[in-house]
Amino acid sequence: MSRSDVLVDADWVEAHNGEDGVVLVEVDEDTAAYDKGHIRNAVKIDWKKDLQDPVRRDFVDKDGFAALLSARGISNDDTVVLYGGNNNWFAAYAYWYFRLYGHQNVKLLDGGRKKWELESRELVTEVPQRAATSYTAADPDSSIRAFRDEVVAAIGRDNLIDVRSPDEFAGRLLAPAHLPQEQAQRAGHIPTARSVPWSKAAEEDGTFKSDDALRTLYGDAGVDFAKDTIAYCRIGERSAHTWFVMHELLDQPNVKNYDGSWTEYGSLVGVPIKTGDES
Amino acid sequence: MSDGCGAPAGGAPLTDAGNQAVIQGRVAQAGAPVGTGYARLLNSDGEFVAEVPLGADGGFRFFAAPGSWTLRVLAPGGIRAEQVVSAAIGEIANLEVAV
């Protein structure tokens, strides 16, 4: 992968919007954002309603993902351009699903909704009507998803990147600062994890930093590019953004997102936890 | 909101902080709410911590750790504004940000 394979800019979207085979998809943390205005022709995926299993703690399975994309009128050979607010946080999370279920041609709009809005580009409220398709999802690609036992085994061996904020890493907070701190899990981080808050990979306008700046960012934090990597956060969404950076932009071969993340790890019985600012 | 990353804060301002350290406020331009834009929370080192889109009423809200923070607003047209604010558990810091 290179940057041009996985990112498009706003001018590209304006030039190609509406073409056959190009589908824009908005995925936001604020699931009401789409309804207030979205890029023309964009369809919506709701990260909570559409991407999570309603009963088990897991995300939508292969058949569910296929049904979702079929209903949204997305075909296997479409170029899917994902975008969303907050540095593409949730768009990157959805991107990881598309890759996990084998979609070949998927990209992020660099800068996402924020850059688009700050540049006062067009947003509309009309919802596009797309004919349903018969999407076929592949078996989930387990090479990009980490489970808890792999995470415990990786302590002291592989790169563990904790992408939460410094206060969450140290155990002073249990959730991002714009959410209530109401959870009951143990606080702290996985021993040997390096702290690289996910948002450091983005410029203020939401675009990704240059490859050189990203390599410096992770390298200075102690990430060894010769090792395999697992990224985690609280529920696996911010770490999908870091997975995107490491795997898709920096082309690191073995990078997994641990979507169980701190809400799982911090509730496991008997696993090691470290508190404080040190790894 | 406890089971996910949830939607950003919106709706009516909180009047009881409970056990949270709340930073909330509204952004206005010449008295009119700025309904399109973003509020970013930076820590005392100037590092980005969180961001929410402004509500239709220009509102924003964060649940922070106690301490000193900088609130930065970005809005279309190159609008930027900053205010320093301190947060404490059980208290609500209310900001009126004029841009």
pLDDT given for residue B11 in this prediction: 53
pLDDT given for residue B8 in this prediction: 45
Q: Which of B8, B62, B76 sits opposite A118 (nearest CB)?
A: B76
Domain boundary among A123, A140, A157: A140
Decide if B31 touches A, using CB distance below 8 A: no
Decide if A33 touches B, using CB distance below 8 A: yes
Question: How far is it, in rounded angstroms, from Cα A42 to Cα A101?
Answer: 21
Question: Which A residues, 234 through 253, put their C-beta within 8 Å of a C-beta on chain B?
Answer: 234-235, 237
pLDDT given for residue B48 in this prediction: 85
Average pLDDT rounded to a whole number, residues A133-140: 98
Question: Which A residues, 150 through 169, put their C-beta within 8 Å of a C-beta on chain B?
Answer: 165-167
List domains and CATH numbers for chain B. Answer: 21-98 (2.60.40.1120)
Residue A169 belongs to domain spanning = 143-265
Respond yes or no: is residue A81 known to be catalytic. no
Contacts of B81 in chain A (CB under 8 A): none
DSSP state for residue A245 in the 8-state scheme: I
Question: How far is it, in rounded angstroms, from Cα A233 to Cα A261?
Answer: 5
Contact A178 B51 (CB under 8 A): yes
pLDDT above 60: residue A18? yes
Question: How far is it, in rounded angstroms, from Cα A40 to Cα A12?
Answer: 14
Q: Do A155 and A42 belong to one domain?
A: no
Q: How many domains does chain A have?
A: 2
At A142, phi and psi to the nearest 5?
Answer: -70, -5
Question: How far is it, in rounded angstroms, from Cα A86 to Cα B39?
Answer: 10
Decide if A183 touches B, using CB distance below 8 A: yes
DSSP state for residue A95 in the 8-state scheme: H
Query: Active site residue: A8, A66, A154, A233, which one?
Result: A233
Decide if B86 touches A, using CB distance below 8 A: no
pLDDT above 70: residue B9? no
Contact B62 A85 (CB under 8 A): no
Confirm whether A106 is domain-assigned. Answer: yes
Contact B76 A33 (CB under 8 A): no
Q: Do A174 and A258 belong to one domain?
A: yes
Q: Which residue of A has its CA nearest to B74?
A: A118
Percent of chain A residues past pLDDT 70, beyond the cut: 97
In this prediction the ipTM stands at 0.75
pLDDT given for residue A46 in this prediction: 93
Decide if A114 touches B, using CB distance below 8 A: yes
Phi-psi region of A244 (alpha: psi -120 to 50; beta: other; left: phi over 0): alpha
pLDDT given for residue A180 in this prediction: 60
Contact B2 A200 (CB under 8 A): no
Domain boundary among A78, A113, A140: A140
Question: How far is it, in rounded angstroms, from Cα A103 to Cα A75?
Answer: 9
Q: Do A148 and A136 belong to one domain?
A: no
Contact B67, B86 (CB under 8 A): yes
Enclosing H/E stretch for A7: strand A7-8
Domain boundary among A77, A108, A140: A140
Taking CA atoms, A195 is separated from A89, A156, A182, A189, in Å, by 18, 14, 23, 9
At residue A72 the predicted structure's pLDDT band, cuts being 50, 70 and 90, is very high
Average pLDDT rounded to a whole number, residues A73-90: 95
pLDDT given for residue A96 in this prediction: 98
